Copies of this chain bind each other. A is one copy, B any other.
Amino acid sequence: MTPSDKNRKVIYAKRPSGAPTTDCFALQDMPVPVPGDGQALIRNDYLSVDPYIRMRMEEKDSYAPVMAIGETLVGRTVGQVVISQIGGLAAGDWVVGRLGWQDFSVAGAADLQKIDLAAAPATAYLGALGSTGITAWVGLMTFGRPQAGETVLVSAASGAVGSVVGQLAKLQGCRAVGIAGGAAKCALVKEAFGFDDCVDYKSPRFAEELAAAVPAGVDVYFDNVGGPILDAVLPLLNNFARIPLCGLVSQYNATEPYGVKHLREIFNRRVTMRGFVLSDHKDLWPAATQALAQAYAAGKLAYRETIADGLENAPQAFIDMLDGRNVGKQLVRLRPA
């Protein structure tokens, strides 16, 4: 990097109606920022694109404020320190942080976390060992509270969060059953992530196949999608089942929300449904990080990545991910390998 390098960033150009299109985003060239006292300049190597960003593209605040038009897209990155004015952080160190869709970022110590590439590849810290894995752990352990022998059902099971949930459920001695779209994803869920079973929601016999996959009913439904799949699961819940509601990806692009019909089961089965977002649970990060690192070191935490190349392709990667075209964690490589 020299001072003449430019910093490319993706800014939020237009609010989508329904599914976002590439013209909702715009690429902008800016000067590379200069770190002040107590800051560092980071060159971002990989960018994580995540479903929650779709919610921040709405006109109305969700759990987080919406993004303003003209703002740099939010997202976590992993990269290397170029210049450091932070004690204990040196040029060449690898860090992870919420540094946005851009080549370079300036950040203070509180927004950066050093990572160890001897323990795992850099991209794992955006996925299974990072906020994705922590989301899975917090939702499952805190709100799912699985007991050995119980059945844990997970939607978007081949996705970044879902795939970790199933593996954590297995480590708890549970039966782990996934829901995913298509035979290839279902095979991956079973073979790569070790779920006991996986049901294809695109199958015309989905409801029957789902019931057959959970012969003892469902004790924990870790839901990433909401909508009609949630409706299909509700009648299969056991008494006192728990539903950690991690997202509603099926609804983010919907202009008319789906009406869920089987809420009576929440009453009948005395179910607890709990929405959660990771940022409320900073106190649990150390425990989650440790548990995930241990599982990974023991060879019990597999993950998959779908990597798009080039910042200019980040909008399309995001659009494809919302459409379920990714497998595992959707990343964008910002610097040629």
Q: Within 8 Å of chain B (Cβ to Cβ): is A287?
A: no
Q: How many residues of A contact B (CB 8 A)?
A: 33
Q: Smallest Cβ distance from A139 to chain B, in angstroms?
A: 11
- On whether the beta carbons of B276 and A280 are closer than 8 Å, the reply is no
- On whether the beta carbons of A270 and B259 are closer than 8 Å, the reply is no
In-complex Cβ contact of A263 among B63, B256, B260, B268 (8 A) = B260
In-complex Cβ contact of A275 among B248, B257, B270 (8 A) = B270
Q: Smallest Cβ distance from A173 to chain B, in angstroms?
A: 25
Interface centre among A256, A269, A273 (most CB of B within 10 A): A273
Interface residues as binary, A251-266 with B (CB distance below 8 Å gives 1, 0 otherwise): 1000011111111101
Enumerate chain B residues within 8 angstroms of A269, measured Cβ to Cβ: 63, 275
CA distance A274 to B258 in the complex (A): 21
Enumerate chain B residues within 8 angstroms of A230, measured Cβ to Cβ: 263
Near B by CB (< 8 A), chain A positions 129-183 give none
Enumerate chain B residues within 8 angstroms of A248, measured Cβ to Cβ: 263-264, 267
Query: Which B-chain residue is minimally distant from A63 (CB atoms)?
Result: B268
Interface centre among A63, A259, A267 (most CB of B within 10 A): A267
Q: Within 8 Å of chain B (Cβ to Cβ): is A247?
A: yes
Q: Within 8 Å of chain B (Cβ to Cβ): is A199?
A: no
What number of copies of this chain does the assembly contain?
Answer: 2
CA distance A62 to B269 in the complex (A): 8
Query: Which B-chain residue is minimally distant from A274 (CB atoms)?
Result: B272
Near B by CB (< 8 A), chain A positions 71-102 give none
CA distance A226 to B261 in the complex (A): 11
Query: Which B-chain residue is minimally distant from A275 (CB atoms)?
Result: B267
- On whether the beta carbons of B270 and A261 are closer than 8 Å, the reply is no
CA distance A246 to B280 in the complex (A): 28
CA distance A215 to B189 in the complex (A): 47
Enumerate chain B residues within 8 angstroms of A251, measured Cβ to Cβ: 264
- On whether the beta carbons of B261 and A245 are closer than 8 Å, the reply is no
Q: Smallest Cβ distance from A15 to chain B, in angstroms?
A: 17
CA distance A316 to B82 in the complex (A): 80
- On whether the beta carbons of A266 and B275 are closer than 8 Å, the reply is yes
Q: Within 8 Å of chain B (Cβ to Cβ): is A117?
A: no
Query: Which B-chain residue is minimally distant from A55 (CB atoms)?
Result: B268
Q: Within 8 Å of chain B (Cβ to Cβ): is A19?
A: no
- Known pairs A55-B268, A267-B277; list 8 more (Cβ under 8 Å): A226-B264, A257-B263, A266-B273, A268-B275, A270-B277, A271-B274, A272-B275, A273-B274
Chain A interfacial positions (CB closer than 8 Å to B): 55, 62-63, 226, 230, 239, 245-248, 251, 256-264, 266-277, 280
Selected A-B contacts with CB under 8 Å, 20 pairs: A62-B264, A62-B267, A63-B267, A63-B268, A226-B267, A230-B263, A245-B267, A246-B267, A247-B267, A248-B264, A251-B264, A257-B261, A259-B259, A260-B263, A266-B275, A270-B274, A272-B272, A272-B273, A272-B275, A273-B274
